[in-house]
Each structure stands twice: as structure tokens, then as C-alpha cells.
Structure 1
Amino acid sequence: MKAVARMAALHMRTVAPFQSQFFLVFGVAALIDARSPTVVAPALAVLLAPYLAVQPFQIAEKADLDTLYAVLPAPRHAVLRAYYVWAMASYAATVVVGTLLAYVFARIEGVAFGGRSLVTMLVLSWALFAVNIAIQFPILIRFGYARVSVLATTLPLALVMLAAYKLHLTVASIQVWLPLLGVAGVVAFVASATLAPRLRKAV
């Protein structure tokens, strides 16, 4: 666990200098959703957290960090599972900041904020994010970011969003399935993280 934590911290330091554009997009997206405070945090979590989560893959390939990872005193499984830790941190940070912004927007607009609707949307956003990452990361690990960047970053999210649309999900209908959705997200995420070390990058 210590090796995974150290590698996750390394991913964070690797990504940090390149995030000015992300913060700009984050701010613009939050302002767009400002009229509906309840959806601010879930929307940011579904649309922007996955983008932040894949940044270590993109930067590692551009800077050829695989060479560095190979000589570090950390096993390969720690390097790979640290990507998932970073993804979780990306989701958590996005939700926390998004919820705080949503609270501010709600106070400014004088509208109610919180309650079952917010909880429902957050659980749904977690399930969508987790399934997205569970599909996306093994593809990136197997084929590399440069080969499948567009496919790996858009197809999983598109499939998840299409499924949600086809099922005609509403806040009321989702509330019945909240525990199952939360657990399904955890299972998909953990299963993907467990499978990741068994994958070998295609030559």
C-alpha cells in the first residue's frame, strides 16, 4: 500500500503543472450549470473527473515516464493501481469542490439545495464515473494513450450515457436503485483495478 500511495503522489506531482486549462474548463462548466445547483457536482464528476483521471497516462507517454517507472523501487502493480487511486482522488476532489460551488450558487439564487435529489445525483455520478474508468483504464494500459486516446476517453462515457438515456432514468426511478448503483460502481472499479496488473502493453 505504501508503494501505491507513493506512486499516486508521483502521479499528482506529474499532473499538477499542466492543469491550468482544466481549471478554466472546470470554472466555465460550473458557471453553465449554475442555474441548477443540484446538478453542478454530478455533472462535473461525470464529464470532467474522467478527463483529469487520464492525465497521468497522457503525460507519462509524452515525457516517456515509463523509463522512470521501470527503475523506481516500486513493483509494476503499484504503478498501475496508483492510477486508480489518482482517479478516485480526482473524483472526490471534483465532487467536493463542485458541491461547495453548488452551495454558493444556491445561496445566491435563493433556492433549496441538498436532500434526496442531490444524494441521488451524486450516487449516479459515482456509478457512471466508476464504470467509465473501469472500462477506460484497461484499454489505456493495454494499448497506450497515444494509440487509443480518443476511443478510450470517449467511447466508455458515450456507452454509459447512452445506457442511462435508453433506460429513461429519472431522479424518482433512480432512488429505488441507489444502493445497487453505488455497489455496482465499487465492484466495477475494484475489478478493473485488480485486472490491470495482469495486462501487458501491446507492442
Structure 2
Amino acid sequence: MSDLPRYRRIFFRTMVRARAEASGEIAAHLARSLAEFGAVDVQEDGVYYKDQELLEFTLSLEPTGPVDDCVAKLRDTAPAGWHDSPVGPAWGRRLSDGGVPFLHPHLDWATLSPEQAATLPRYEPGDLVRILDCPGARESGVVGEEAEISSAGAPVDLDDVWGYTVRPRGWTTLVCFDEPELASTGHRVRREQPTRTPVISVRPDGVVTGGSG
């Protein structure tokens, strides 16, 4: 039986200096560059609004091993150009001083946001839950109210629990609760079908498992 955490993710935000028509080719290159580390999804986000010469990509990697080990190996692929950022390790071409590029020859900068937890999250955005009696619910006056899950936050350490931002019915603002303070209703919010964004999925062995867009 594996001792690995059930939830392991590294989120990347990357910028590549290239033309818009090269987006699909770059996405495939990024997927191949990360495939040896685990299962990866690459989302093409288009031209960066602050710089028309940059293309933005969002990547999600589920490492085959511990998250910290994976981050260390990723940094070893391009030893120069790293610094700390509010969301985790960051790489910048200007800081690499002509060293080895990270993930793609024309990558301009990237941020890595590592997350891991002992268990998978019980709820997903759009799930409807019931807020249980707890100090935070009593303070906000929402004990027993139905609420929509807005987002999930991975625990800081493996002994902690998942946290969620929720929107109680009739509220326009969000409130934070831990997983044990919420109960499932078995329902989800109904929404119109969202606009699809191109995504490439690649297994650790490099096999493309899917694409959408």
C-alpha cells in the first residue's frame, strides 16, 4: 500500500514568447516536457493581455511521487533563474543569465504552486452543501443554511483538513469553512455549458490521453 498523499498537484502559470498560431504546438511541447514527472493537463489561455508577444498557458501536474521531490527535480532541469514568489517557486528568463531554459526554449517565466493533502477533497466547485453548527456559522448566522462550494483550499500540512469558500443561499459574499463543518446535500448548481478551452492531457509514459477545444 502506498504511503503517498492521496492528493498531489503542482499548478503552473507559464508565459511563452511566441505567435498565437504556435499555441497548439507549444502546448504539446509543454505536455511532453512534463510527462516524465506524472499526469499533466495543459490549457491554452491565449495572448497575455499585458504583452501581445506572450502566450499564456495553465498547467496541472499530478506527480507520481511526493510533491516536494518533484519540485526539486523540476528545478534541477534548469538550475539557474529561480526565485521565491507568493505562490511558490518561480522561474524567469532574465534571471537565468543565459542558462538552460525551463520547459520550453522560448518560455519567458513560470510560477509553480505545489499542493498536497492526505485525502482527496470531498467537495468540488458547484456542489451544494449544508452548513453545520460551528462557531463560524453561528457568528455569520448561517447554521443549517444551504451554500454553494466556490473553491477548495488544500491543507497546509498532511494532518490538516480541506478548507472551502462557500456562498450561502442569498449571499453575494463568500465565507470560509473547514470540511467537517459542511454536509453534502447530494446536489449541484445547474449552469449553462461553459465555453470550452483547448486542453491536452498526457500520461507519465507520454501517451496523449485526450484533448478538447
Q: Relative to total residues, which structure has the larger helix share, 1 or 2?
A: 1
Question: Which bracket does the TM-score occupy, shorter chain normalised?
Answer: under 0.3
What is the TM-score when the length of structure 2 is the normalising length? 0.23
TM-score (norm 1): 0.24
Larger Rg: 2
